[in-house]
Amino acid sequence: MPELRHNVLTRDWVIIATERAKRPEDFAKKKERKIIPAYVATCPFCPGNEKMTPPETYVVPDAKGWRIRVSPNKFAALSYLGERQRTFHGTRRTVTGVGIHEVIIETPDHSKTTALLDDREVEAIIQAYLNRFKYASADPRVEQVTIFKNHGEAAGTSLEHPHSQMIGTPVITAHLRDRLINSLKHFDEFGECIYCRVRDLELAEGTRVVVETEHFVSLVPYAALTPFSMLVVPRRHMACFAEINDAEAADLARNLRRTLAKLYRGLDDPDFNYVVRTAPLENTGVKYYHWYVSIIPRLTKMAGFELGSGMFINVSLPEENAKFLRGVQVD
Ligand SMILES: [Zn+2]
Ligand SMILES: [Zn+2]
């Protein structure tokens, strides 16, 4: 019989379709792997093509030019210039589309993906995220800052060159506000951070843990909404991403890279998104919320039932996902 599991962090119900469950290896890409060149003359993110993107806002230089480059998105979703203004016409509400939309070019090498970088290179990406997160959060027009990566077409990118993005929006979404409120209610009722509690229970049980490092643990949630989705959770309680120290940033790089390398090797470079789920900077230090990184491999599509009901069907077992990934050898 299938089992419905409740995700206490997202408050979603998930049907774990055990009868339709695929084996972990069935999710591996079957298509032929393309050979990706290290340099593409027409790529706007490749070295030498800096003029194809707006002037950089952050750069990590090296002997040959740069290691990381951040620039405003040429096709930004929001306008950097202008004032935030709300208008109300009855039930029609609008806010001017101002905000910050940047592209973080993660490496000069067109062919690399996070799994193929080394820990120091990923650490520099995390430091770039931190710098840009603080920068965008300081803008009085910005209410919410989202850092995310789209890898592969199924994850929503057509640009092959390894990059991630940051968007600072002039409003806070219900998606984030509901999580803040629900974790606050849990704290008031039980006197604990729900995320700390979940992490501790998962560490004690062990069956859904994927990678443990000094300051972080990656795991497949008990009620994972989709196959192989994972959380990378800090061991120390922190509400906001900007609270991490340098040692933790280095360890996050280690954990994230290893976790992504297991996906890369185990499932043959699947398309994925990852996103930093954090409280806004102004909520720094609160006891009820806990930031983490969400990794969502795009192995299945949302269909009518998911869209219509708000419920998910996961055709894999979280415990099997985790066991499979634990068994994938990475350095
Ligand atoms: Zn490129
Ligand atoms: Zn916590």
Q: Please name which ligand lies nearest the alpha carbon of 238.
A: 2
Per-residue pLDDT, 21:
77
E strand or H helix at 135: helix 119-137
| 257: nearest Cα among 289, 210, 220, 223 | 210
Burial 303-321 (b: 16+ CB within 10 A, else e): eeebeeeeebbbbbbbebb
- Which residues are within 5 Å of ligand 1 (an ion), measured at CB? 40, 43, 45-46, 110, 161
Asked if pLDDT for residue 29 goes beyond 90, the answer is no
Known active-site residue 163: yes
Asked if pLDDT for residue 267 goes beyond 90, the answer is yes
Quickly count helices (H) and strands (E) in the chain.
6, 15
Q: Please name which ligand lies nearest the alpha carbon of 53.
A: 1
- The alpha carbon of 294 and the centre of ligand 2 are apart by a number of angstroms equal to 15
pLDDT digits (tens, 9 = 90+) for 52-84: 999 999 999 999 899 999 999 999 999 999 999
Q: Please name which ligand lies nearest the alpha carbon of 45.
A: 1
CA angle 49, 126, 201 (to 5 degrees): 145
Distance CA 263, CA 274 (A): 12
Distance CA 199, CA 191 (A): 16
Distance CA 60, CA 67 (A): 5
- The alpha carbon of 198 and the centre of ligand 2 are apart by a number of angstroms equal to 9
- The alpha carbon of 327 and the centre of ligand 2 are apart by a number of angstroms equal to 28
Backbone φ and ψ of 314, nearest 5°: -105, 120
Q: Which two tokens stand for residue 330?
A: 């990475």
Count of alpha carbons within 13 Å of 128, Cβ hemisphere only?
31
Q: Which of 101, 163, 237, 290 is catalytic?
A: 163
**What is the pLDDT confidence band of residue 31, given thresholds at 50, 70 and 90?**
low
pLDDT digits (tens, 9 = 90+) for 137-166: 999 999 999 999 999 998 998 799 999 999
Asked if pLDDT for residue 239 goes beyond 70, the answer is yes
- The alpha carbon of 69 and the centre of ligand 1 are apart by a number of angstroms equal to 12
- The alpha carbon of 247 and the centre of ligand 2 are apart by a number of angstroms equal to 18
